[in-house]
Amino acid sequence: MIATTYPGLVTFIAERAEVPVETVVPDRPLEVLELDSLTMVEIVLFIQREYGIDVPEGDLRLGQTPAEWFTYLDGRAGR
């Protein structure tokens, strides 16, 4: 699993993609997991619910890597 402040998010992404959590690696774009737009909505709602971070539509994209997402989320959370 990725060492991150967001381990629950990594697990959630892996569950939605129906892949082992080890498949979600920091430098591999999330698009390789073949997630769809509905899953992206679920992920954003999970982030808002679990971490209290508001994510405007379109800020997180499947072409980005988990590491990019975590950097973005840290910035939104003021870390």
Summarize pLDDT for 1-39 with one digit per residue, the tens. 455 678 899 999 999 999 999 999 989 999 999 999 899
Domain boundaries, the chain: 7-77
pTM (predicted TM-score): 0.87
Look up the CATH architecture of domain 7-77.
Orthogonal Bundle (1.10)
Spatial CB neighbours of 31, under 8 Å, sequence gap ≥ 6: 62, 63
pLDDT of residue 79: 73
Q: What's the Rg (C-alpha) of the chain?
A: 11
From the list 53, 14, 47, 55, the residue with the least C-alpha distance to 33 is 14
